[in-house]
Chain A
Amino acid sequence: MQAKSSYRDRTDEFFGIVETLRRSIAPAAAANINVAYGGGRREDPRSAAVMQSEFNRRASVIGLAIHQTSQKLSKLAQLAKRSSVFDDPTREIGELTAVIKQEISGLNTALLDLQAVRNSHNDERNISRDTTTHSATVVDDLKNRLMDTTKEFKDVLTLRTENMKIHENRRQRFTNNPSKESTNPFVRQRPLASKPAPSQPAPLPWANGSSSSSSQLVPRRQGEAESSPLLQQSQQQQMVPLQDTYMESRAEALHNVESTIHELSNIFTQLATMVSQQGEIAIRIDQNMEDTLANVEGAQSQLARYLNSISSNRWLMIKIFFVLIAFLMVFLFFVA
Chain B
Amino acid sequence: MKITALLVLKAAPETTDPVILSNASDVSHFGYFQRSSVKEFVVFVGRTVASRTPPSQRQSVQHEEYKVHAYNRNGLCAVGFMDDHYPVRSAFSLLNQVIDEYQKSFGETWRSAKEDSSQPWPYLADALTKFQDPAEADKLLKIQRELDETKIILHKTIDSVLARGEKLDSLVEKSSDLSMASQMFYKQAKKTNSCCTIL
Give the interface of A toward B (CB within 8 A): 182, 185-186, 189-190, 193-194, 196, 198-201, 212-213, 216, 219-220, 223-224, 227, 239, 242-243, 245-246, 249-250, 253-254, 256-257, 260-261, 263-264, 267-268, 270-271, 274-275, 277-278, 281-282, 284-285, 288-289, 291-293, 295-296, 298-300, 302-303, 305-306, 309-310, 313, 317
Contacts and interface: CB of A to CB of B under 8 A. Distances in A.
Given A227-B56, A267-B155, A291 B179 contact: yes
A198 B57 contact: yes
A182 B89 CA distance: 12
A289 B178 CA distance: 8
Nearest to B182: A295
A198 B54 contact: yes
Contact of B57 (A200, A295, A310): A200
B182 A274 contact: no
A213 B94 CA distance: 11
A317 B67 contact: no
B186 A199 contact: no
Contacts of B74: 219, 223
A284 B193 contact: no
Contacts, number: 172
Q: Is the interface of A mostly helix, strand, loop or mixed?
A: helix
B44 to A, nearest CB: 15
Contacts of A267: 151, 154-155, 158
B58 A246 contact: yes
Given A257-B143, A268-B154, A271-B157, A289 B175 contact: yes
Interface of B: 52-62, 67, 73-74, 84, 87-89, 92-93, 96, 139-141, 143-144, 147-148, 150-151, 154-155, 157-158, 161-162, 164-165, 168-169, 171-172, 175-176, 178-179, 181-183, 185-186, 188-190, 192-193, 196, 199
B88 A219 contact: no
B56 A302 contact: no
Top 8 closest A-B pairs, CB basis?
A: A223-B56, A295-B182, A288-B175, A302-B189, A299-B186, A193-B60, A291-B179, A292-B179
A185 B53 CA distance: 23
Contacts of B199: 313, 317
Contact of A219 (B62, B73, B89, B93): B73
Contact of A196 (B61, B84, B168, B176): B61
Contacts of A242: 58-60
Contacts of A200: 57
Given A246-B58, A253-B140, A284-B175, 9 more contacts: A193-B61, A260-B144, A267-B155, A268-B154, A277-B165, A281-B168, A291-B182, A298-B186, A299-B186
Nearest to A212: B139
A186 B56 contact: no
B54 A250 contact: no
Nearest to A268: B154
B186 A295 contact: yes
Nearest to B148: A260
Contacts of A296: 182, 185-186
